[in-house]
């Protein structure tokens, strides 16, 4: 079984897109893959409700319960490792993860970032793209490395920046594309690794 663990902090809309793709595209039958757990650092993350409704195991590892980032990372790593994942998916997980954690899951962890990397790493990407006068913005699926937002690019989507765009309108347009490219990028990884791939 190709185990996928997804980390969220809020509504988990990208997680939901991935789970729906896994169901509609029959990832378990085609690739021997399934989402085995959804883990959040926030107990009130709305995405946990969706995951439970799909019969997916859920868990909360509250970062506020730990005295340091290292202790939180260690607890989160233990929670993830319990599911023996081949892939860890960051889907709106709003915590910066430490070097040891990232190294532990090296080559097994992916993220989606709301810009056309390498442009606009970090936060407030949509407003920064508008302020810079960009004609285009987008989203990038990439492998996670100890250096923030610089891992191998797996997929990108491009959207136009309109003259009357604000941070909210551009964000919504990019998010629509995120919901398409994130499941597609994971599917491509499954096709590379699964002997059942067709």
Distances (CA, A) of 13 to 65, 67, 119, 192: 25, 30, 23, 25
Residue 24 lies in domain: 2-193
**Helices 13-24 and 46-53 meet at what angle, rounded to 10?**
20
What pLDDT, in 10s, does the model give residues 34-70?
A: 999 999 999 999 999 999 999 999 999 999 999 999 9
What rounded mean pLDDT belongs to the chain? 96
Task: Please check the confidence at residue 105 and state whether its pLDDT lies above 90.
Answer: yes
pLDDT for 148: 87
Question: pLDDT band at 193, cuts 50/70/90?
Answer: confident
What pLDDT, in 10s, does the model give residues 126-169?
A: 999 999 999 999 999 999 999 889 999 999 999 999 999 999 99
Task: Please check the confidence at residue 196 and state whether its pLDDT lies above 90.
Answer: no
In a domain, 90, yes or no: yes
In a domain, 80, yes or no: yes
pLDDT for 14: 98
In a domain, 198, yes or no: no
- pLDDT over 90 percentage in the chain: 94
In a domain, 25, yes or no: yes
| Separation CA 140–CA 146 (nearest Å) | 17
CATH of the domain at 88: 3.40.50.170
Q: pTM (2 decimals)? A: 0.96
pLDDT for 195: 61
In a domain, 82, yes or no: yes
In a domain, 115, yes or no: yes
- What backbone phi and psi angles, to 5 degrees, belong to 97? -95, 145
Q: Which residues contact 182 (CB under 8 A, 6 or more apart)?
A: 14, 17, 18, 89, 91, 112, 141, 155
- pLDDT over 70 percentage in the chain: 97
Q: What positions carry a catalytic annotation?
A: 113
In a domain, 187, yes or no: yes
Mean pLDDT of 6-20: 98
C-beta atoms surrounding 28 within 10 Å: 15
> What domain count does the chain have?
1
């Amino acid at each position: 079984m190709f185990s996928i663990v997804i980390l969220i902090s809020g509504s988990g809309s990208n997680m939901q897109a991935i789970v729906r793709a896994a169901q509609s595209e029959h990832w378990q039958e085609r690739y021997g893959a399934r989402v085995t757990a959804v883990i959040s650092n926030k107990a009130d993350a709305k995405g946990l409700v969706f995951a439970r409704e799909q019969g997916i195991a859920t868990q909360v590892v509250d970062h506020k319960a730990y005295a340091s980032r290292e202790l939180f990372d260690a607890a989160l790593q233990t929670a993830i490792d319990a599911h023996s994942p081949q892939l860890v998916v960051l889907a709106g997980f709003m915590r910066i993860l430490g070097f040891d954690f990232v190294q532990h899951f090296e080559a097994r962890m992916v993220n989606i970032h709301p810009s056309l990397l390498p442009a606009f790493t970090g936060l407030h990407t949509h407003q920064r793209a508008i302020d810079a006068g960009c004609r285009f913005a987008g989203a990038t699926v990439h492998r996670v490395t100890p250096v923030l937002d610089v891992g191998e690019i797996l997929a990108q989507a491009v959207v136009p920046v309109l003259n009357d765009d604000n941070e909210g309108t551009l964000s919504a347009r990019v998010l629509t594309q995120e919901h398409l490219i994130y499941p597609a990028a994971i599917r491509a990884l499954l096709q590379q690794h699964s002997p059942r791939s067709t």
